[in-house]
Amino acid sequence: MKKIVFLVMLMAGSFAQGVSAQSVADGVKFLSYESTRQKSAMETLQKAYNSNPSDPKAVYWYAQALMEDKKNAEARTIAEKALQAAPNDPLLMVLKAHTDVANGGDFNAAKQAFEQAITLSTEAKGKNKGRINPDILNAIGHAVSEFSAKQSDPLYGIEKLKQAAGFDLTNPDIFINMGICYLRMGGEYGGEAVKAFTEALTRDPKNARAMYRIGNIYYSQQNKELYEKWFGDALLADPGYAPVYLKFYNYYSDKNVNIAKEYIEKYLANSDKDCSNDYFYAEYLFRAGKYQESLDKAKEMKSAACKDFYATDLLFAYNSDRLGDSIAARDYLKSFFAAAPVDKLSAQQYEFAATVFGKIAGEEKEASAFVEKAMELETLPAAKLAIAAKAAESFRKAKKYTEQLKWLQTVVKMRGGAPSEGEYF
């Protein structure tokens, strides 16, 4: 009888581990959709963690989902708890160090933990002596890829990922993490990033995320022919890869509202319903000239589950400005910039703020500061020049001639020639 009970318990444990492993794999897949399936990832990985909280992989990936959701303190708590139960587990060591940096910790201290994890995951004898577990190296590289160059050390991450690639000849995620590390080093490393993402495709020719990442580099360079090619390839590989639809929507939102409508509908159909989706639809309504509908959607968000969503005030600012209330638009923008995560801010948002503030007496200096911030976020000289020229024109229309002259002089320096007569008037 005892043997039967033991066998039943053993089978139940094996079944739970199998379910957990499958759930983890599903959750990791959702995470690869660049935040558009974040809700699904969170639910799936939390379920896997709850079913087997002692499984290091379940702990690791649930913590990744939490950090993706900006719940860094919660991620560190579960990492600490798991590491206390298994103090010599290399993956949990890497995770704990990752969560420490996410919570403002020192990266050099994290590196020490990473190196300890590498030591513990290195074969000490036998034919594989000296071999390092590539999953640990990849986890380190992924951790580094999550932070800016100021917060971490991209070259360190790249070094570990190159080691991982030598030990594991099939995992494409190693090169995706490597490509992101290169991007963390600045726009001038875009070519190296493309090489890394392309190498990921040699390992997995249908990897939509790698294709999207390549397309995104060309998108930032305004190379329409190439980004359309790579975004198109990503959708052929995975028609449900929602980040591509969102990127196309962003491109067409101020150029062709009918095409933008097609892409926002496809994006909404292939992504989780959340506050971001409500925001994008309300933004589409604004772009389509349906200001009252856009305002109504923003008010609905503000009064319900999305009341704390950081970008709702941006919707109010867009619509207030279009309806002629610059003061209200300015106040909403102040609230937006106070609440928005730094990594969610774009050059276009700063340009819009510059236009709004530039219309208001006494706000000229603040308006110019927004122009400078917009230029900082752009990497291409042509894009920076366009922002400066647009700023000069906006200040001209607002009859703020001192600021207009400042930005005309910036344009002159960037072009290497004098402005035309028409630019002064």
Tell me the C-alpha distance between 64 and 361, whole Å.
Answer: 46
pLDDT at position 1 is 52
pLDDT at position 20 is 61
Q: What domains appear along the chain, each with residue ranges and CATH number?
A: 13-119 (1.25.40.10)
312-322 vs 347-358: helix crossing angle, rounded to 10:
40
Decide: 264 and 56 in contact? Cβ < 8 Å.
no
Give whole-number Cα distances, 93 to 3, 83, 115, 131, in Å.
37, 7, 10, 19
pLDDT at position 187 is 85
Model pTM? 0.86
275-287 vs 291-303: helix crossing angle, rounded to 10:
160
- To the nearest 10°, report the CA torsion of 95, 98, 102, 106: 140
* Residue 122: strand, helix, or coil: strand
Decide: 23 and 51 in contact? Cβ < 8 Å.
yes
257-269 vs 275-287: helix crossing angle, rounded to 10:
170
Decide: 423 and 408 in contact? Cβ < 8 Å.
yes
The two structure tokens encoding residue 358: 């530039």
The two structure tokens encoding residue 106: 């020192």
Tally of CA atoms within 13 A in the half-sphere of 89 that contains its CB: 20
Q: Is the dihedral of CA 332, 335, 341, 343 positive or negative?
A: positive
Closest CA to 33 of 151, 169, 207: 207
Full pLDDT tens readout for the chain, 425 residues = 544 444 444 444 544 455 567 789 999 999 999 999 999 999 999 999 999 999 999 999 999 999 999 999 999 999 999 999 999 999 999 999 999 999 999 999 999 999 999 999 999 998 999 999 999 999 999 999 999 999 999 999 999 999 999 999 999 999 999 999 999 998 899 999 999 999 999 999 999 999 999 999 999 988 999 999 999 999 999 999 999 999 999 999 989 999 999 999 999 999 999 999 999 999 999 999 999 999 999 999 999 989 999 999 999 999 999 999 999 999 999 999 999 998 889 999 999 999 999 999 999 999 999 999 999 998 788 889 999 999 899 889 888 889 989 989 999 999 875 444 344 33
- To the nearest 10°, report the CA torsion of 324, 330, 333, 335: -130
Please give the angle made by the CA atoms of 33, 37 and 38, to the nearest 5 degrees. 105
Decide: 115 and 79 in contact? Cβ < 8 Å.
no
In one-letter notation, the amino acid at residue 268 is: L
Decide: 227 and 219 in contact? Cβ < 8 Å.
yes
Tell me the C-alpha distance between 48 and 278, whole Å.
Answer: 28
CB atoms within 10 A of CB 27: 25
pLDDT at position 382 is 87
The two structure tokens encoding residue 64: 């990744």
